[in-house]
Amino acid sequence: MSTRVAGKVAVVIGGASGIGWATAQLLASEGATVVIGDIDVDGGRSRAVELGRGAEAVCVDVVDEESVRTVFEETRARLGRVDIAVNCAGLNLPGFITELDADTWRRTVDICLTGGFFVIKHAARAMEAGGAIVSITSLNARQAAAGFAGYCSAKAGLAMLTEVAALELGERGIRVNAVSPGLVETPLVEGLTSVPVIQADFTENTPLGRNGSPRDVAEAVLYLASDASSWTTGEVLDVNGGAHLRRYPDVMKHLGALS
């Protein structure tokens, strides 16, 4: 058995499903004690039971700073340390700019960007030198998509926040990086992958010709969280099958044609 993060304590925000769950599984299999933080606390507890190895689950709402602070402070108090923090929380509420209401915009930005700020802030406060923080951004951080104004803006902001945090925290020996996935088969995107014309457009615009799996992204997170990347910080790593080299599908146009 490989032990790339043996003895480390990892907090995975959004760890009850999708990329977060795949990440939690991989970190645990590599020797970490994993704390699953999720707003779906029942789902998180079920996942913790599956992991075993001392895994725990806690309720966290990334838009509530006190909730995020509590997770990291209590994890450190209970387990003695926080070595790795992974933020997988995300949400996309589509809408064209001229029709998008402020509450929908704020909800997307709050979860994808402000929540990322809270996680980085309070994870860093709980960490010592050698700590690693990894955020999940998106292909949409660099590729615009009609109807995704809130999501694209928030994920682009999270990518830049990653770089700023790396600058600020480097002197403390804390590394801050991000993984930028393309289309990954998770519950969040079932509405896209289940539509043949949309799936075909994504495949055509991905040089490697397939969707990603949560494990594909988790492997990249593991690398950035482990000592294998000890001289890497401020990196936003594209893990998208080369999709950033082509164009983003016009998802809203496809959906409009089907309605």
Question: In 3D, which of 35, 44, 40, 127 has the Cα closest to residue 81?
Answer: 127
Token pair for 79: 């387990």
| 248 has catalytic annotation | no
Q: Annotated catalytic residue: which of 21, 117, 148, 151?
A: 151
Q: Which of 15, 102, 13 is nearest to 61 (CA)?
A: 13
Cβ neighbours of 97 (radius 10 Å): 10
Rounded to whole angstroms, the Cα distance separating 146 from 1 reads 45
* Alpha carbon distance 123, 131 (integer Å): 9
Long-range Cβ pairs for the range 206-209 (8 Å, 24+): 206/182, 206/240, 206/241, 206/242, 206/243, 206/246, 207/241, 207/242, 207/243, 207/245, 207/246, 208/241, 208/242, 209/241
Sequence-distant (≥ 6) Cβ neighbours of residue 79 within 8 angstroms:
9, 33, 35
How far CA 21 is from CA of 82, 122, 158, 254, in Å, comes to 19, 21, 21, 30
Nearest to 60 by CA among 12, 106, 17, 28: 12
Catalytic amino acids? 151
